[in-house]
Amino acid sequence: MSSDTERPVTVRTSERGAATRGALLDAAREIFISRGFAEAGVTDVVSRAGASVGSLYHHFSGKADLYLTLFEEFQSRQTQRTKQAVQAARGEGEGDPMRLFITGARAYLEGCFDERELAALFLRGDGPPGFEVIMRDRMRQWARRNAALFEDDNGALVVVVTGALAAAVSEVVLSEDVAAARSFSQDVLTIIGQIPRP
């Protein structure tokens, strides 16, 4: 057989694998959001996805891996949103670090509104064992990125703005009143923007 005849089979197999993986993640997201991580079962996920238990274990090591993959993919989208917003602001001539931070923070919060149920899943405290350590590490990474944005050694300002935004994210995502949460997020960003640089 020539490589031309083999390639379509490989592509179809890889597309089918990607489709199964995507269906499993979609199902896991629905199940975790509706039942919580602890109450969700692998059989619930594969049943919702129309897949087999074997296919789940082909793509993931188990329920915790599904959860962590959903988290990492969400964080990747959030990072992309904030980077694009900050790059666009820089492209328009903005150079003030606090204004750039606010621009990125607004994009991050918008992502939380866009994917509210998923964002809430990660903040409810019902994740796999050790997830709180992953969240703390993610917070430290976020603080380091913010420190690079402010380009100075003043760790206090970075801790204050990062912590304030993290608290705002939690309030916004877990609030039942979306309109009030939007207003609250704008108020928080306004207050953060008024913090003087030491």
Q: Quick one: angle between helices 97-114 and 63-91, nearest 10?
A: 140
Q: Output the pLDDT for position 38.
A: 94
Q: Output the pLDDT for position 147.
A: 86
Q: Output the pLDDT for position 116.
A: 94
Do the Cβ atoms of 102 and 51 come closer than 8 Å? no
Q: Output the pLDDT for position 152.
A: 63
Q: Quick one: angle between helices 178-193 and 97-114, nearest 10?
A: 170
pTM for the model? 0.86
Q: Output the pLDDT for position 89.
A: 97
Nearest CA among 193, 85, 97, 83 for reference residue 152: 97
Low-confidence spans in the chain with pLDDT less than 70: 1-13, 152-154
Do the Cβ atoms of 78 and 111 come closer than 8 Å? yes
Q: Output the pLDDT for position 1.
A: 44
- The contacts of residue 84 (CB under 8 Å, 6+ apart) are 107
Q: Output the pLDDT for position 60.
A: 95
